[in-house]
Amino acid sequence: MENVKEKVAYLKGLMEGLELDNSSKEGKLFKAIIETMDEMAEAIEILEENQNELDEYVDTMDQDLARLEDDIYEDEDEDYDYEDDDDGYIEVECPNCHETVYLDEEMFEDDEDEEIICPNCNEPIHFGCCCDDENCNCKDE
Protein backbone atom coordinates (compact mmCIF):
# COMPACT_ATOMS: atom_id res chain seq x y z
CA MET A 1 0.00 0.00 0.00
CA GLU A 2 1.32 3.39 -0.93
CA ASN A 3 1.75 5.87 1.86
CA VAL A 4 -0.11 9.16 1.91
CA LYS A 5 2.89 11.30 0.93
CA GLU A 6 3.40 9.28 -2.25
CA LYS A 7 -0.27 9.69 -3.17
CA VAL A 8 -0.08 13.46 -2.66
CA ALA A 9 3.06 13.62 -4.81
CA TYR A 10 1.20 11.73 -7.53
CA LEU A 11 -1.67 14.26 -7.36
CA LYS A 12 0.83 17.14 -7.63
CA GLY A 13 2.21 15.56 -10.78
CA LEU A 14 -1.26 15.15 -12.23
CA MET A 15 -2.03 18.80 -11.56
CA GLU A 16 1.19 19.91 -13.24
CA GLY A 17 0.40 17.61 -16.17
CA LEU A 18 -2.96 19.29 -16.62
CA GLU A 19 -1.14 22.58 -16.95
CA LEU A 20 -3.78 24.45 -14.98
CA ASP A 21 -3.27 28.18 -14.69
CA ASN A 22 -2.44 28.90 -11.03
CA SER A 23 -3.98 32.35 -11.39
CA SER A 24 -7.41 30.94 -12.38
CA LYS A 25 -10.04 30.09 -9.77
CA GLU A 26 -9.80 26.37 -10.45
CA GLY A 27 -6.00 26.42 -10.44
CA LYS A 28 -5.91 28.24 -7.09
CA LEU A 29 -8.41 25.77 -5.62
CA PHE A 30 -6.50 22.67 -6.75
CA LYS A 31 -3.19 24.14 -5.61
CA ALA A 32 -4.64 24.92 -2.13
CA ILE A 33 -6.17 21.43 -1.86
CA ILE A 34 -2.90 19.72 -2.78
CA GLU A 35 -0.89 21.91 -0.37
CA THR A 36 -3.34 21.09 2.44
CA MET A 37 -3.12 17.39 1.62
CA ASP A 38 0.67 17.63 1.62
CA GLU A 39 0.64 19.20 5.11
CA MET A 40 -1.76 16.51 6.32
CA ALA A 41 0.50 13.80 4.92
CA GLU A 42 3.46 15.30 6.81
CA ALA A 43 1.43 15.39 10.04
CA ILE A 44 0.33 11.78 9.57
CA GLU A 45 3.93 10.70 9.01
CA ILE A 46 5.01 12.41 12.24
CA LEU A 47 2.13 10.78 14.13
CA GLU A 48 3.10 7.36 12.78
CA GLU A 49 6.70 7.85 13.89
CA ASN A 50 5.58 8.94 17.37
CA GLN A 51 3.20 5.99 17.60
CA ASN A 52 5.97 3.56 16.67
CA GLU A 53 8.23 5.06 19.35
CA LEU A 54 5.46 4.75 21.93
CA ASP A 55 4.82 1.13 20.93
CA GLU A 56 8.49 0.29 21.42
CA TYR A 57 8.55 2.11 24.76
CA VAL A 58 5.42 0.30 26.02
CA ASP A 59 6.85 -3.06 24.91
CA THR A 60 10.05 -2.34 26.83
CA MET A 61 8.07 -1.34 29.92
CA ASP A 62 5.95 -4.49 29.62
CA GLN A 63 9.06 -6.66 29.49
CA ASP A 64 10.55 -4.86 32.50
CA LEU A 65 7.31 -5.25 34.44
CA ALA A 66 7.15 -8.95 33.59
CA ARG A 67 10.68 -9.41 34.95
CA LEU A 68 9.76 -7.55 38.15
CA GLU A 69 6.63 -9.65 38.58
CA ASP A 70 8.67 -12.82 38.12
CA ASP A 71 11.17 -11.65 40.74
CA ILE A 72 8.49 -10.65 43.25
CA TYR A 73 6.18 -13.64 42.84
CA GLU A 74 9.08 -16.08 42.64
CA ASP A 75 10.01 -15.12 46.21
CA GLU A 76 6.41 -15.59 47.37
CA ASP A 77 6.22 -19.01 45.74
CA GLU A 78 9.34 -20.11 47.61
CA ASP A 79 7.90 -18.93 50.94
CA TYR A 80 4.57 -20.74 50.52
CA ASP A 81 4.40 -24.32 51.76
CA TYR A 82 2.24 -26.13 49.21
CA GLU A 83 2.37 -29.41 51.12
CA ASP A 84 0.53 -27.91 54.10
CA ASP A 85 -3.00 -27.34 52.79
CA ASP A 86 -4.44 -26.99 56.31
CA ASP A 87 -4.95 -23.27 56.73
CA GLY A 88 -6.10 -23.45 60.35
CA TYR A 89 -9.69 -22.39 59.68
CA ILE A 90 -12.98 -24.26 59.82
CA GLU A 91 -15.82 -23.37 57.48
CA VAL A 92 -19.13 -23.03 59.35
CA GLU A 93 -22.60 -21.83 58.36
CA CYS A 94 -23.97 -19.44 60.97
CA PRO A 95 -27.41 -20.65 62.15
CA ASN A 96 -28.51 -17.02 62.64
CA CYS A 97 -27.55 -15.22 59.41
CA HIS A 98 -26.89 -18.38 57.32
CA GLU A 99 -23.64 -16.92 55.97
CA THR A 100 -20.57 -19.08 55.61
CA VAL A 101 -17.89 -17.93 58.03
CA TYR A 102 -14.38 -19.17 58.67
CA LEU A 103 -13.42 -19.72 62.28
CA ASP A 104 -9.96 -20.32 63.67
CA GLU A 105 -9.43 -23.93 64.81
CA GLU A 106 -7.89 -22.67 68.05
CA MET A 107 -11.27 -21.21 69.03
CA PHE A 108 -12.56 -24.78 69.39
CA GLU A 109 -9.53 -26.04 71.31
CA ASP A 110 -9.31 -23.35 74.02
CA ASP A 111 -12.57 -23.67 75.94
CA GLU A 112 -15.59 -25.59 74.80
CA ASP A 113 -17.93 -23.56 77.04
CA GLU A 114 -16.82 -20.24 75.52
CA GLU A 115 -19.31 -18.68 73.14
CA ILE A 116 -18.21 -18.22 69.56
CA ILE A 117 -19.55 -15.02 68.01
CA CYS A 118 -20.36 -14.86 64.30
CA PRO A 119 -18.12 -12.21 62.70
CA ASN A 120 -20.92 -11.38 60.25
CA CYS A 121 -24.02 -10.88 62.46
CA ASN A 122 -22.35 -10.70 65.92
CA GLU A 123 -24.71 -13.36 67.27
CA PRO A 124 -23.46 -16.43 69.20
CA ILE A 125 -22.96 -19.60 67.19
CA HIS A 126 -24.08 -22.67 69.12
CA PHE A 127 -22.74 -26.08 68.24
CA GLY A 128 -24.96 -28.79 69.57
CA CYS A 129 -27.94 -28.07 71.83
CA CYS A 130 -28.99 -24.48 72.33
CA CYS A 131 -32.19 -25.02 74.28
CA ASP A 132 -32.61 -24.35 77.98
CA ASP A 133 -34.56 -27.54 78.64
CA GLU A 134 -32.58 -29.75 81.04
CA ASN A 135 -34.51 -32.83 79.91
CA CYS A 136 -33.44 -32.29 76.31
CA ASN A 137 -31.73 -35.31 74.70
CA CYS A 138 -29.36 -33.21 72.59
CA LYS A 139 -27.27 -32.21 75.62
CA ASP A 140 -25.93 -35.77 75.79
CA GLU A 141 -24.47 -35.54 72.30
In a domain, 96, yes or no: yes
Let me know whether 112 and 59 are in one domain.
Answer: no
Let me know whether 37 and 73 are in one domain.
Answer: yes
Number of separate domains in the chain: 2
Separation between Cα atoms, residue 117 and residue 125, nearest integer Å = 6
Model confidence over 25-47: pLDDT tens digits? 988 999 999 999 999 999 999 99
Let me know whether 98 and 75 are in one domain.
Answer: no
69 vs 2: which has the higher pLDDT: 69
Let me know whether 64 and 14 are in one domain.
Answer: yes
31 in Cβ contact with 22 (< 8 Å): yes
| Boundaries of domain holding 72 | 4-79
Separation between Cα atoms, residue 84 and residue 90, nearest integer Å = 15
Helix (H) or strand (E) run with residue 88 in it: none
In a domain, 84, yes or no: no
Model confidence over 99-120: pLDDT tens digits? 888 877 777 665 556 678 888 8
Beta-bridge partner residues of 103: 90
Domain final residue, candidates 30, 57, 79 = 79
Let me know whether 64 and 127 are in one domain.
Answer: no
